[in-house]
Structure 1
Amino acid sequence: MMDSETIWAEEWLAAHAYDVLAAPELIRAVPWSKIYRLNTDRGNVYLKWSAPAYAREAALMVHLAERFPSDIPSVVAANQAIGAFLMSDGGEPLRNKLKRSYDPQFVGKLLGRYARIQRTFSHKVEPLLALGLDDWRTTVFPDLYDGLVHDEVLLEREGLSAAEIEKLQGTGENIRRLCRALAGFKVPDTLEHCDFHDNNVLVKADGALINDWGDAVISHPFFSLAGFLDSAVRNHGLDANSLAYKHLKDAYFEIWLDVETPENLERIFEIAVILRPIEFAFNFSRVIRMTTTEEFEPYRGYIAEALRRFLSTVL
């Protein structure tokens, strides 16, 4: 039996003179999102369905593509009522290419392009909030943290001990201090992808596209850099003390050099690295709210792992 999103996709494509050559192929499925590939006479078209909390993705991508058409995949059609949209083929994940040969120059240019998107929206967040993006700015971040660490039912289900929960609940002032420090610099809160890594970048011969914007929030931009580099260390063995790692940081920092000194940008990054696991935990707490206990079981422990990582940096 076909889902409503695949029925809509095939009907839309037929109505717009696409010849669908095979049944939709489900290529990714998690409880909050599904992606299908549809082989058509005009090439592959991708269908994405998202749970309501992430269904603003198509509207955000259209909004971003108005200013950055060469950086964002093209949305062909969207059906907000069912949380689905069609996207043109953007190529293969960048991770596949980097696994064959890691290219710091290419990745550095990508980080610069992404940072320019963030700079563009750094004083234009209200329209993004109006699209439905969550507000995780540094002014509200500590309160969100308090809410998370006092949800003892959730944390116990995640596998955290009573002692760990007590430690987390005692670090609220640390979070406030770090957020005040971030707010004291001149790099403002802005668009934050919230899942920015090389597997969410698509590459073809003619360039790269930043994909999978469903998790996006308004928060501190340097969380993106912290998450991207952490992924590069885990997936590509990038040494945090290497010249390649420094090159990637500097490529991202370059976009902010007109507002802060290199020394201050380094300090901002250090704080972002400490707080990034908490943002990760926030993200997965959204997933819990839109899935059943059974559906979430394969992901149980992710929040605990992130919060333990945070504790290791502050205790």
Structure 2
Amino acid sequence: MTGAPEGWVGGWIDVGLQLPSASERWRSAGYRDELRAWVARETGEPTSLEPVKVRAWASVWRAVTPGGVHYAKQNCATQPFEAALLAELVRLVPQHVVPLTAVDLDRGLLLTPDQGPVLGEGDLDTWRRVVAAGAALQRALVPHVDGLVAAGVSRLLPADAEEYVAQRLDGFAALPAGDRRALAPDRLAALRAHLPVVRRWAEQVAALGLPATLVHNDLHGNNVFDREDGLRFFDFGDALVMEPLAVLAIPLEMLAARLGAGPDDPRLWRVAEAALEVWSDRAPLAELRAALPAALQLGRLGRTETWLRCTPPMNDEELDSFAGAGAASLAALLDAPVLGHLPG
């Protein structure tokens, strides 16, 4: 697997890192030729090879080949691990993830066969299926965390949370004047004052005793296929090794926005409890519910790290849209959790 560039601090990306544009390379004729040659070696000469998505952080192409329709993906240099991670997941938990046709670990390329339409967001029962199946995947991976880290996935555990936030704040403070990625000075000061609160959240979540495992970090129905043998997950480019309840941060925030739901909405609790029940043999359900608001806050750190990893290869146009996403994700620690309430 292609190694991460210099600019990492304690396994986490440096806030100030800047790299050449990834999307401009992916849009070039040279990259198309390179990708076509690789697909041809793996499946036969494609009759069609067209981009489906080209973002600052990843490129996905649809290839029509003698072996059927496939999708090729490559992530940016600061999220290079997905190919190695998916290869490991296919080996360990093939029933939970999309199959792999081919992988190039040196270049971080992966090729998967067409799985049909995605599950989609659907109704509450669909969301419950997604989070419950996601938690089952997490349970299955608990014994294999060291292998996931060896594949390139970073750890961000409750014990790391306070140090992580402090490092991010130092990184934002060191950005030069006028940097579009900057965190506003008042937010910076407020977050520094909030570090003892982050420590208390981490202590509460750690006290549950749940094991570290894979957190997808973008869990929703558009990253899932509904196959005859169950749900199969894909798009692991944002993944981290965290405590397991952090995985609920993204689906609950998405669902709350869609429903216009507040922190006491029983519909959100119904979805959350489909995942909590998977862990109820490791901690009482009442304790899981009580710690969930703090876990959701710590889950926002996962999204912060994703945005900070995706920002270095952005060009000017992409920075116009996304430069402040990492700072905004970190500043969300000052907001109330999407579900439940924190102690006063």
Tell me which interval the TM-score lies in, with the shorter structure as reference length.
Answer: 0.7 to 0.9
SS in 2 for 1:25: strand
Aligned match of 1:214: 237
SS in 2 for 1:114: helix
CA displacement, residues 249-281 of structure 1 (integer Å, 9 cap, x when unaligned): 121111111111111111221112222323322
Aligned match of 2:36: 10
Task: Kindly indicate whether the alpha-carbon contact (under 8 Å) linking 1:189 and 1:219 is maintained by their aligned counterparts in 2.
Answer: yes
CA displacement, residues 178-217 of structure 1 (integer Å, 9 cap, x when unaligned): 1122111121221111222222223456643211111111
**Letter paired with 1:87:** T
Match for 1:107 among 124, 127, 133?
A: 127
Aligned match of 1:262: 285
Aligned match of 2:186: 163
CA displacement, residues 96-117 of structure 1 (integer Å, 9 cap, x when unaligned): xx3xxx3333332332221112
SS in 1 for 2:159: coil
Distance 1:91 1:153, change over 3 A: farther
Task: Kindly indicate whether the alpha-carbon contact (under 8 Å) linking 1:90 and 1:209 is maintained by their aligned counterparts in 2.
Answer: no
For the residues of structure 2 that align with 1:113 and 1:215, how far apart are their CA atoms? Answer: 18
The answer to which of 160-169 and 215-224 deviates more is: 160-169
For the residues of structure 2 that align with 1:212 and 1:107, how far apart are their CA atoms? Answer: 17
CA displacement, residues 147-190 of structure 1 (integer Å, 9 cap, x when unaligned): 10122144973454322211111222211221122111121221
SS in 2 for 1:54: coil
Task: Kindly indicate whether the alpha-carbon contact (under 8 Å) linking 2:240 and 2:302 is maintained by their aligned counterparts in 1.
Answer: no
Match for 1:92 among 117, 127, 136?
A: 117
Offset of residue 70 of structure 1: 2.6
Matched, 1:146 2:166: yes
For the residues of structure 2 that align with 1:292 and 1:175, how far apart are their CA atoms? Answer: 33
The answer to which of 28-37 and 86-95 deviates more is: 86-95
For the residues of structure 2 that align with 1:272 and 1:285, how far apart are their CA atoms? Answer: 20
Task: Kindly indicate whether the alpha-carbon contact (under 8 Å) linking 2:158 and 2:298 is maintained by their aligned counterparts in 1.
Answer: no
Task: Kindly indicate whether the alpha-carbon contact (under 8 Å) linking 1:116 and 1:255 is maintained by their aligned counterparts in 2.
Answer: yes
Match for 2:310 among 287, 291, 295?
A: 287
CA displacement, residues 118-174 of structure 1 (integer Å, 9 cap, x when unaligned): 112224321111111112112222211101012214497345432221111122221
Task: Kindly indicate whether the alpha-carbon contact (under 8 Å) linking 2:205 and 2:291 is maintained by their aligned counterparts in 1.
Answer: yes
For the residues of structure 2 that align with 1:164 and 1:47, how far apart are their CA atoms? Answer: 40
CA displacement, residues 5-63 of structure 1 (integer Å, 9 cap, x when unaligned): x43543344345535222x1111111221001112344320010112332221221121
For the residues of structure 2 that align with 1:269 and 1:238, how far apart are their CA atoms? Answer: 17
Name which structure has the greater RCO, CA cutoff 8 Å, separation 6+: 2
Aligned match of 2:8: none
Aligned match of 2:68: 43
SS in 2 for 1:34: strand
SS in 1 for 2:142: coil
Aligned match of 1:132: 152
Task: Kindly indicate whether the alpha-carbon contact (under 8 Å) linking 2:82 and 2:237 is maintained by their aligned counterparts in 1.
Answer: yes
Higher helix share: 1
TM-score between both structures, scaled by the size of structure 2:
0.80
Identity of aligned residues (%): 23
Task: Kindly indicate whether the alpha-carbon contact (under 8 Å) linking 2:43 and 2:66 is maintained by their aligned counterparts in 1.
Answer: no
SS in 2 for 1:31: coil
Match for 1:20 among 40, 46, 69?
A: 46
Distance 1:301 1:245, change over 3 A: same
Offset of residue 291 of structure 1: 3.8
Distance 1:197 1:70, change over 3 A: same
SS in 2 for 1:224: helix
SS in 1 for 2:152: coil
Unaligned ranges ≥5, structure 1 = none
Aligned match of 1:312: 335
Unaligned ranges ≥5, structure 2 = 1-27, 337-341
For the residues of structure 1 that align with 2:100 and 2:30, how far apart are their CA atoms? Answer: 20
**Letter paired with 2:71:** Y
For the residues of structure 2 that align with 1:123 and 1:11, how far apart are their CA atoms? Answer: 38
Distance 1:237 1:75, change over 3 A: farther
Distance 1:18 1:236, change over 3 A: farther
Aligned match of 2:107: 82
The answer to which of 288-297 and 52-61 deviates more is: 288-297
**Letter paired with 1:78:** V
**Letter paired with 1:104:** L
SS in 2 for 1:260: coil
